[in-house]
Amino acid sequence: MSNPLLNFEGLPLFDAIRPEHVTPAIGTLLDRCKSVVAKLEAPMAEITWDNFVTPLDDCTEQLSRAWGIVGHLSAVVDTPELRAAYNENIPRITEFWTSLSQNQALFEKYKALANAASFDSLSPARRRVIENTLRDFRLGGAELPDEKKKRFAQIQEKTASLSTRFSENILDATNDFELLVEDASELKGLPEDILLAARAAAQAENKTGYKFTLHFPSFYPVMQYADNRAIREKMYRANATRASEFGAKPEWDNTGIIRELLQLRKEEALLLGYPNYAEVSLVPKMARSPGEVISFLEDLATKARPYAEKDLAELKRFAHEKLGINDLQAWDLAYVSEKMRQERYAFSVQEVKQYFPEPEVLAGLFRVVQTLYSVSILPDKAPVWHPDVKFFRIEKNGKLIGQFYMDLYARPGKRGGAWMDDARSRRVTIHGIQTPVAYLTCNFSSPLEKDGKRQPALFTHDEVMTLFHEFGHGMHHLLTRVDELGVSGISGVEWDAVELPSQFMENFCWEWQVVSHMSSHIDTGKPLPKTLFDKMLAARNYQSGLQMLRQVEFSLADMHLHYDYDPDGSRTPQDVLDDIRRRYAVVIPPSFNRFLQSFSHIFAGGYAAGYYSYKWAEVLSADVYSAFEESLAQGNDLLSPAMGARLLEEILSVGGSRPALESFIAFRGRPPSIDALLRHNGLVAQTASAC
């Protein structure tokens, strides 16, 4: 027990965990699991939840938690030593889970549980766990003959290794690039805080001038504000060619990995008796077929395209008339868009950012959650992996119900993007209720030194929405009342419904009642003026047509690559994306753009043939939020505890214990409609249709 990865009594011992702990801990836990599995494989006089499911959950949960810690650390504090330990153990972990999913003896025992007379007397959550597990056995190859099981296992191991390599290549390519600018006159247009951060980054490495990287808080302000077009182009090109054949190092090129992953996924689908991987991916989702998803996306594209064409025409006209740019290029889009936003709505993203210091934003976020769900969020203490990490607890009526870590700032060695992940899930143990714990991770700008003082981090309004989004995922995980591990929190929730709580939370960032309580100018301390908020509101759907088409483009590319693309044919994945862009996009990136090579969601995450989930769930979340709007129109408070209690009762607390559509209907009283999504995005609904 001296190995900190083997501590399951409390919170992870992040201050004590070292790379050298990984391999022995994983070896110990794998041996424990294999011993338990061997006992459960043996004939049993009677198979019950307590003598079969519980011991299996007990051992596999410990393995999952330990490996989850390792995976989390590799994402937030990557080092060569940790990466080596992680990669050394991926094959062992993958082999175990694959063998478990193909274990015929366990499969038969789950079937026996499902067919037993006592099945109907089990709780709905336990019945759901058994049904999901049987489905997962089938998708894991349990019904394959032995020779095909062996090949299936090889595919799982290779896929896991390739996905990890894909992610590592992006991180390495991102960390490798830097642009050093000595002459401040070349950086005209950039805000003061961005210049301060760039100078601090250079000084931290004993360099002069200003250092810019491809980490988002450094990269994107250059694209938005730098008057120097050549610098914008250099940054754009570096970002657009990361981990591709045009990148810095051939060993970081993800092109071959993409092709191999698609080949392996197609082979996996054929082994399972499906014609393509998309149909495998959709088995546990709400959507019933690739055709249904494609029709949904194409319908959104049809509705959004006129607005996108108008957005682009306005952008080109502004660039020509106001900025003298007659050949609008990809590296001009963010810059011209921000200039046009400033002229049209008389405010800038940078101006708004000054009103959102981290302490006020967190207080405002917590106020929304505490009011809606009648909980308390309090500072807490725990070992952490970096000094910037914060830790909190959630209580209800003075009783602990969950805890969460917040790691908000970008830094070298940390994967880009924003996400929520579970550190521990709620379940009933012999010691009582095990409360859930979550990781909430973002990549915002860190606090700066100004005039000798450390200022709080400042967030753009988009970053505020990102924080609310991830916190919505966190609430789904932390406020669950389900006691069974397999359907507690976000576990067992259909992937195309899991974004509902997160997207729902974003809406509050557009409500004056919320924003007015979480803003304070970094210099004056004054709250965001209502006049400025009104301008933000007027600009809410600025270029929403372009944004909608962009998401549809990515979603269609993902679906077609896993549905009707032949990875062994002559066409490349880039050809598929180019075809989709020609059909649906109004902005066509340069030919050197290699978006797919950094599309981590589908090649290194859980979104393969599932990226459409963001738009699908947005239909659900917009419709759920429209219930709050209707309540407000009836004279109730927007942050109505009664409405929050209903949402908690019917959606958040039930986790995956019942189908997501049932939970939605239980809350809304009817099936979902696309109307609210179109209205919130400023796209006029032509007809009402359910998804």
Q: At what angle do helices 104-115 and 124-139 cross, to 10 degrees?
A: 140
How many other CB atoms are there within 10 angstroms of residue 571's CB atom?
A: 12
**How far is 610 from 556, CA to CA, in rounded Å?**
10
In 3D space, the residue among 239, 315, 172, 171 whose CA is nearest the CA of residue 592 turns out to be: 239
CA distance 201 to 213: 9
**What sign for the dihedral angle of Cα 482, 483, 489, 492?**
negative
Nearest to 517 by CA among 535, 536, 530: 530
Task: Decide if 186 is catalytic.
Answer: no
Q: In the beta sheet, which residues pair with residue 405?
A: 391, 439
The answer to whether 227 and 189 are in contact (CB under 8 A) is: yes
Using alpha carbons, list the distances in angstroms from residue 426 to 354, 436, 639.
39, 5, 27
- Six token digits for residue 302: 């049809």
Question: 218 near 198, Cβ under 8 Å?
Answer: yes
Hey, which residues does 396 pair with through a beta bridge?
399
Which residue matches tokens 């050394």?
88
Q: Do 380 and 403 contact (CB within 8 A), yes or no?
A: yes
User: Beta-carbon neighbour count of residue 188 at 10 Å?
Assistant: 10
* Catalytic annotation, pick one of 61, 358, 360, 470: 470
Q: Can you tell me the distance from the alpha carbon of 287 to that of 291, in angstroms, rounded to the nearest whole number?
A: 9
How far apart, in whole angstroms, are the C-alpha atoms of residue 201 and residue 520?
Answer: 27
How far apart, in whole angstroms, are the C-alpha atoms of residue 185 and residue 399? 57
Distance, CA of 258 to CA of 28 (rounded, Å): 34
User: Known catalytic residues?
Assistant: 470
